[in-house]
Amino acid sequence: MKYTKLGRTGMQVSRLVLGTMNFGTRASEEESFAIMDRALELGVTFFDTANVYGNGGELGKGRGTTEEIIGRWFAQGGQRRERVVLATKFYGEMDNSLDGPNDNPGVSAYKLYRSLEASLTRLQTDHVELFQMHHIDHSINWDEIFEAYQNVMARGQVYYAGSSNFGARHLAYAAAAADKRHFTGLVSEQHLYNLLERLPELELLPTAQDLGMGVIVWSPLEGGLLAPGALSATSGRRAERAQKLSAKTRAQLSAYADVCRELGESESNVALAWLLHNPAITAPIIGPRTVEQLEQAVHAVEIDLDDATLARLDEIFPGPGGSAPEAYAW
């Protein structure tokens, strides 16, 4: 495994993030334990979860289930908690909440304090390294939320603040507000980005780089469309998505499969390697359902894509033309 710093912080994280959304929904607790144990053996030490994970799938028992599974895994000891850089998120409403009118999606000091305490209980830990706002709240009060972050950081319950699904302008607003408070502010943004979704190249990625923020990528395989067999899938969510693809996208994925075949690498690993090649990207999130899928994905950090291959991928999946405004203005 390879490691890098998370944005401008001094904290080292693995170049792949273990995503846990499948834990308790598509992977049993036993399978989830095995995946996490193997992740540590392979050097994947950056784990990402959220308070709302655990709902849906074949096994889903409700929101919060995934954090509970991770907490029971930590409780086994063996330096499991000490070896993990743990990230979780808050924003959405939880099941069976007694909050009443405050049990709605959003960001506030109230929500941060209540969500953090509940997550720490489920995770059976006294802190999280990265506490992320799961989505932008357009009514966010930066003084309020940053004061709350500073308070929980002073207690040692949170080490760093992060965001997810924010726009470039929101990152700029946050940076300006943090600067006025002489506060570190947001150190990372978790965002959708992959070969099929390159719009972040216009504003989000350049802004994050300018601000010294790390970028964690969710859905690096675009829901499995950039994984082997996407066009031939016959069941499940991936098959449903494949059936709705345009002729243009199907042709792109077919050409992409040809390139990967020539490279002797899987489509999923080439997609991950393409992300890792970008200096703006800290790490993509992988969401294995089995130990085997985890082991296959880890190989991506060893793949070196040459300039000719990167050019071919740009031809197949053309981006917006670079960053704004030069991508569309003189």
DSSP state of 201: G
Tell me: the pLDDT tens digits for 253-289?
999 999 999 999 999 999 999 999 999 999 999 999 9
Tell me: the pLDDT tens digits for 120-173?
999 999 999 999 999 999 999 999 999 999 999 999 999 999 999 999 999 999
Please identify every residue annotated as catalytic: 53
Q: If residue 36 lies in a helix (H) or strand (E), which one and from where to where? A: helix 29-42
Q: What is the mean pLDDT of residues 1-19?
A: 98
For residues 128 and 88, the answer to whether their CB atoms sit within 8 Å is: yes
Chain centre distance of CA 182: 27
Tell me whether residue 140 is in a domain: yes
Which of 49-58, 71-80, 159-168, 298-307 has the weakest average pLDDT? 49-58
Count of domains forming the chain:
1
- Provide the domain limits for residue 274: 3-223+267-305
Residue 222's alpha-carbon distances to 195, 196, 197, 286, in angstroms, are 8, 7, 8, 11
Tell me whether residue 261 is in a domain: no
Q: Position 206: which residue type?
A: P
| pLDDT at 249 (0 to 100) | 95
**Residue that has been written with the tokens 């997550």 in this structure:** 119
Tell me: the pLDDT tens digits for 178-230?
999 999 999 999 999 999 999 999 999 999 999 999 999 999 999 999 999 98
Higher-confidence position of 95 and 130: 130
| pLDDT at 141 (0 to 100) | 96
Give the domain CATH number at 31. Answer: 3.20.20.100
| pLDDT at 34 (0 to 100) | 98
| pLDDT at 131 (0 to 100) | 98
CB-count burial class (<10 Å; 0-12, 13-18, 19+) for 204: buried
Tell me whether residue 244 is in a domain: no
Tell me whether residue 271 is in a domain: yes
